[in-house]
Structure 1
Amino acid sequence: MAARPASHLAPRPIITLLVSLLVTLASGTNYVFSAYAPQLAARLHISHTQLNAIALAGNVGVYFSSPLWGITADKLGPKLNLFPSFCFLLAGYSGIWIIYDNGISAFETSASTSVILLLVFFTLMTGVGGSGGYMTALNVTARSFPDSLRGSALGLVVSGFGLSAFLFSFIAQHAFPGQTSYLLLTLALGTALPLLIGVFVIQPIPLLVPSTHESVAVEADDIDSRTPLISSISQNVIAESSVASESSSSRGSNQIGKKSMPEDSALLKHFHGRKLFASVDFWILFCNFSLVSGVGLMYINNVGSIAQVLYIHEHPSNYNQIEISKWQATQVSTISTVSFSGRIFIGILSDLVKARWNIPRSYLLVLVPIFALASQITLASYIIVVSGLWISSALLGLGYGMLFSLSTAIVTEWFGLAHFSETLGFLTLSPLIGGNVFSIAFGRNLDKHSNAEIPTNVSLNVCLDGRSCYVDTLYLTITGCMVAVFLSLWAAWRDRIRRAEWHERQFSG
């Protein structure tokens, strides 16, 4: 089948990529929770354990709904996902905003059970809405770019999910510092409207497959007159198609180490749906994802409380809510921007090592838990003042961002594109386990160390003992990261064996 003229094709992947990025920027706001969580707890007089339960509701919404969004995106396309996601985000953040503004009455010592349940429900809605936008953007991006560019394209779109928290915490820190109500209103409007734009714009772009070498030459000549970015994308599409068409004729002359697997031969593509749960490789990826993302969610949900604890320990008689809000926003911004950078970096690196040296993307997976482990060790043994907290936040953000970008690319490499969003949806159920275990453990540990006598104007249930307030939980997260290092090495080893067997079959046949 002859390709359509490049003049009609080249701009469309760029538009799809940019709008998908806009959608993920609006979809990752669960990670901004720490920017307003301590203020929410102070206004409603709720404990750290209750606060973690509310935060986990958002994570449950994100990850539990992922398989459903993925199946819908695979079978019915993006529009059927984006509009309900717009509604969920608008309703969820609006509900939290209204509850925060109303507060509790002067006759109540803490928020009622019904208010807590409403907060859980509305936070769950924000998670479900964010998941719908995220899964849809990834589905469209994965189907619109060839394997040689897919890691970079997915890395860019996934990075928007990480950068989302920075965007909104930056607004909170500079536009209205200490005014949580305005932040929640901004979240309600700022997350919903981009998804509404996506409803009318986002659509997958069929990959360009030239039928002859002449068509390749025509496309390349036409593309050269366009912008460098469009030229790079289109030329890579053409080049990959050309290489694929010649691979069968040159099979005997290539060495095993330099022969790339064609995109349509994902070794585990027959595993999908129920069969996916019979795959050892899926479970290795699932457990690794659960551990690292669980540590990340625990930290992201509680870094605001950690900043508060360290600040109060350092300034017991000079409590300043606006100053604490700035430190909290700084941690969210640090995690978000470094996560953004990590997602793009690992996407580009994974494309580079695969295209230039034919190294599987799974070999890079061990980097993810190493950075998460470094973050937890640093937090447990080194950081005693709030001004040093950014180090742990940066290390955590790097590992957490790389996890999502690299795991997404590995899913396409191992399981193929036909059921990509469905497989990714099942994989992203895993943070529910790790996130619940680590976050609840952190909340209970912090409540256990809370002091009865607290400074004036400090929210209830604040621990005054600094790092000792939460260090016991970090021993648990450090152990989880060490297990994840082992699982990452195991995944890479199994992938190496599979590929060696594939190459042997190709040359022996």
Structure 2
Amino acid sequence: MAPSTVHKTFVLLSCTFLGLICGTLYLYLSYSPQLALQLQYLATNALSIALVGSLGVSITGPLAGLVVDKKGYTAPLCAGGSFIVLGYYVLRRQYTHAYLSVWLLCGCLFFVGSGSTFINLACLKCCAVTFPLLRGVATLLPLALYGLLAMFYSVFALVFYPGDTLGFLRFLIVSLALIFALCSPLVMLCDRRNFNGSRTVRLADPVEMANLRSGSAGKDVNLALKLAFAQSQPGPTEVYGVRLLQSPRFWLLFLILGAMASLGQMYIYSVGYMVKALVIRNFELDPVAAASLSVDMLIQNQQQLQVGLLLMTNCIGRLAAGVMGDIITQTFRRSRAWLLFVPAAGLVCTQILGQTIAGHEYLGAASMLLGFFYGYTLCIMPTIVGDVFGMENFLGNWGLVGLAPVIPSFYLTNFFGEVYDSKLTADDSGVYTCILGSHCYRPAFKVGLVVSFLALFLVGVFNFGDRYLMSRARAERRKLVM
């Protein structure tokens, strides 16, 4: 029996709300300085811990995709929900008892990242199966709103839990468990209704999203999908495996994503320390005054404000990338790869702003721009990978490209932490604080500026390289004819 429109709408809403909780990992940047103070970590340790959470998101992808394909939605949803709640529960216990273990905190965030991937992939596939003819719109909601709930939590903490990290973590655990309990049963019922029996959708094969028993329906689905990925030039040859690794275009995209995404992650995970340094500098506080409760509340409020701005513009950037991608291909008959110039140039501006902003009241401008261009990059890059290398092996190809930010993010974020730690000064009571304002981290943004110019150059090579080689080949042929 086919599901009704009302039922499918509720499934879509459930998947959307479940997808929202997958981005709560971003919340770490709003309370990481307080966590580091309570557990006596340096900035370098705290930022490395954040990267472990991102690593959990990245390396769990292939396993989560396999589980979703083989076991349906119930198993990955249960695993993902359990991982997220368990991770935050242990993190709160560690904060409460001041248990000094970097590895335990790394494990907590790794669990949160892994659980987010399990839930996200299950929701994406459920949306694609439930709406095979509107797959793009249906899957856009969980993708574009990824992390938007973290913005809500940041605002909520700003209003109801100012300076109360422990109370905020308690509220976070209870609310996430409640959202999961309310929304997951409807998605799990999709397994019982056996949607997959009549509509088989493989995440690794998005072009052939439907294998319907009805021949006419199958033609409609294939037509819709072909129109969704229509290009001005003939479709790309399917490239994967060894051929993918031998392709210069793969390595260009790999380097471009690695450079641009790592700049975004460095800022996201470090903005809490930027706020702290700027607030202390602006009010000319000494280390003792900076450690007072009132100042700590002000700093935490500003941190949560920056998180909210980042996540809001991240969502807008993802939506803008999707819309502009369709416009440039359908209206102007150009490749989506040209849109890479937008975030590449924008990230150059954010690195300049990061160096020059001297007051915390102006940091919101840099946070909004960074959030927009980071979200734009993460949304446009998968579609470019599909356009260039074909959609038959899209998941595997995108999985390889998606690993690009791991090493550069680790380097840049750790470099930021090392620079910040090198500027710390201690008072007589042993409290370490940086009172130099933007000079606490400025060298990190100078390195980031070099990386952003490199990304802009690589985008130019990617878009103009083939044209240059073709013109050279035509010139050589003309010489041979003459």
Shift of 1:146: 6.8
Match of 1:127, as an amino acid? G
| Residues 293/260 of structure 1: CA separation in 2 closer, same or farther (3 Å cut) | closer
1:116 maps to what in 2? 102
Instruction: Name the SS of the counterpart of 1:366 in structure 2.
Output: helix
2:22 maps to what in 1? 27
2:474 maps to what in 1? none
Preserved CA contact (<8 Å) 1:83 1:199: no
Measured against aligned partners, the alpha-carbon deviations of 1:203-236 in whole angstroms (never above 9, x if no partner) come to 6784688967xx99xxxxxxxxxxxxxxxxxxxx
Whole-angstrom distance in 2 between the partners of 1:12 and 1:408: 30
Shift of 1:494: 6.5
* TM-score (norm: length of structure 1): 0.77
Shift of 1:19: 2.9
Preserved CA contact (<8 Å) 1:74 1:420: no
Preserved CA contact (<8 Å) 1:81 1:132: yes
The answer as to 2:147 corresponding to 1:162 is: yes
* Higher RCO (Cα < 8 Å, 6 or more apart): 1
Higher mean C-alpha displacement, 202-211 vs 360-369? 202-211
2:330 maps to what in 1? 355
Preserved CA contact (<8 Å) 1:83 1:195: no
Shift of 1:24: 2.2
1:471 maps to what in 2? 442
The answer as to 2:359 corresponding to 1:385 is: yes
Instruction: Name the SS of the counterpart of 1:267 in structure 2.
Output: coil
Match of 1:356, as an amino acid? T
The answer as to 2:413 corresponding to 1:442 is: no
Q: Which runs of 5+ in 1 are unaligned?
A: 105-110, 217-236, 246-258, 499-509
Preserved CA contact (<8 Å) 1:170 1:333: yes
- Counterpart of 1:269 (choices 198, 219, 238) is 238
Whole-angstrom distance in 1 between the partners of 2:70 and 2:466: 29
Q: Superposition pairs for residues 5-16 of structure 1, below 5 Å?
A: 14-16=9-11
- Counterpart of 1:177 (choices 162, 166, 181) is 162
Higher mean C-alpha displacement, 355-364 vs 320-329? 355-364
Whole-angstrom distance in 1 between the partners of 2:64 and 2:468: 33
CA RMSD across the alignment: 3.5
Match of 1:324, as an amino acid? I
Whole-angstrom distance in 2 between the partners of 1:447 and 1:460: 13
Shift of 1:195: 4.8
- Counterpart of 1:325 (choices 292, 295, 300) is 300
Preserved CA contact (<8 Å) 2:133 2:221: no
Measured against aligned partners, the alpha-carbon deviations of 1:390-409 in whole angstroms (never above 9, x if no partner) come to 01101100011111111233
Whole-angstrom distance in 2 between the partners of 1:269 and 1:22: 34
Preserved CA contact (<8 Å) 1:44 1:100: yes
| Residues 402/9 of structure 1: CA separation in 2 closer, same or farther (3 Å cut) | farther
Whole-angstrom distance in 2 between the partners of 1:402 and 1:468: 29
Higher mean C-alpha displacement, 124-133 vs 352-361? 352-361
Shift of 1:287: 1.8
Preserved CA contact (<8 Å) 1:154 1:408: no
Q: Superposition pairs for residues 417-428 of structure 1, below 5 Å?
A: 417-428=391-402
Whole-angstrom distance in 1 between the partners of 2:98 and 2:226: 62
Whole-angstrom distance in 1 between the partners of 2:402 and 2:170: 28
Preserved CA contact (<8 Å) 2:21 2:147: no
Preserved CA contact (<8 Å) 1:162 1:401: no
Shift of 1:301: 0.8
1:59 maps to what in 2? 54
Whole-angstrom distance in 1 between the partners of 2:128 and 2:343: 22
Whole-angstrom distance in 1 between the partners of 2:391 and 2:405: 23
Whole-angstrom distance in 2 between the partners of 1:300 and 1:493: 31
- Counterpart of 1:288 (choices 256, 268, 273) is 256
Measured against aligned partners, the alpha-carbon deviations of 1:419-442 in whole angstroms (never above 9, x if no partner) come to 433333333222211210110000
Q: Superposition pairs for residues 56-205 of structure 1, below 5 Å?
A: 56-74=51-69, 76-103=71-98, 111=100, 115-141=101-127, 150=136, 153-195=138-180, 197-198=183-184, 200-201=186-187
| Residues 199/473 of structure 1: CA separation in 2 closer, same or farther (3 Å cut) | farther
- Give the number of equivalent residue pairs: 444
Whole-angstrom distance in 2 between the partners of 1:9 and 1:266: 35
Whole-angstrom distance in 2 between the partners of 1:413 and 1:368: 19
Measured against aligned partners, the alpha-carbon deviations of 1:237-291 in whole angstroms (never above 9, x if no partner) come to 969837969xxxxxxxxxxxxx94499x8524341x5554333333222221211
1:411 maps to what in 2? 385
Measured against aligned partners, the alpha-carbon deviations of 1:468-508 in whole angstroms (never above 9, x if no partner) come to 1100011111111112122233334478899xxxxxxxxxx
* TM-score (norm: length of structure 2): 0.81
Shift of 1:348: 1.8
Whole-angstrom distance in 2 between the partners of 1:461 and 1:417: 52
The answer as to 2:223 corresponding to 1:241 is: yes
Instruction: Name the SS of the counterpart of 1:447 in structure 2.
Output: helix
Whole-angstrom distance in 1 between the partners of 2:129 and 2:458: 29
Whole-angstrom distance in 1 between the partners of 2:143 and 2:378: 7
Shift of 1:362: 2.0
Match of 2:236, as an amino acid? L
Shift of 1:453: 2.8
1:369 maps to what in 2? 344
Instruction: Name the SS of the counterpart of 2:427 in structure 1.
Output: coil
